[in-house]
Amino acid sequence: MPASEAFLDTNVLLYLLSAETDKADRAEKLIAKGGVVSVQVLNEFVAVAMRKAGLTIAESREVLRAVRASCRVAALEAATHDRALDIAAETRVHVYDATIIAAAQECGCKVLHSEDMQHGQKFGAVRINNPFRS
């Protein structure tokens, strides 16, 4: 895995659907660089895209096809779940965010692009970067 490979949180993918062109452009550039997403991120994208943006599963698949062409998809294992519970217990981060952090750690990513977590915060070797900060 390249050292520059970053993990992408669900909100990065969701900004592909945004009317905020600046954020949509930033998301598109991040995804085009490649990186890692987990199956959880893909599932969360579909759930939110259907509920909030009115996309169908077919439309969601089309967006995710482009994401998957650029990004590696990490499977979630029981060990990821266990690590996430440890992170949640130690840091009081919500278990869904902790699962994304755990997956990023397991993939050896040094950066986790997320708007939902505190910019600059570190979880072991993983540093949170909010790519949408002004």
Residue 3: predicted pLDDT: 47
Could you tell me if residue 72 is inside a domain? Answer: yes
Residue 134: predicted pLDDT: 80
Could you tell me if residue 54 is inside a domain? Answer: yes
Report d(CA 34, CA 29) in Å as an integer: 9
Could you tell me if residue 134 is inside a domain? Answer: no
Domains held by the chain: number: 1
CATH at 32: 3.40.50.1010
3-class state of residue 112 by DSSP: strand
Give average pLDDT by consecutive 10-residue segment, the chain, 134 residues: 77 97 97 97 98 97 97 97 98 96 97 96 97 92
CA 83 to chain CA mean position, Å: 17
Could you tell me if residue 41 is inside a domain? Answer: yes
Could you tell me if residue 1 is inside a domain? Answer: no
Domain span holding position 94: 7-129
Closest CA to 45 of 84, 12, 78: 12
CB 36 within 8 A of CB 109: yes
Could you tell me if residue 2 is inside a domain? Answer: no
In this structure, what are the phi and psi dihedrals at residue 106, rounded to the nearest 5 degrees? Answer: -65, -30
Residue 4: predicted pLDDT: 58
Tokens read off for 10: 């669900």
Residue 65: predicted pLDDT: 97
Closest CA to 44 of 13, 7, 65: 13
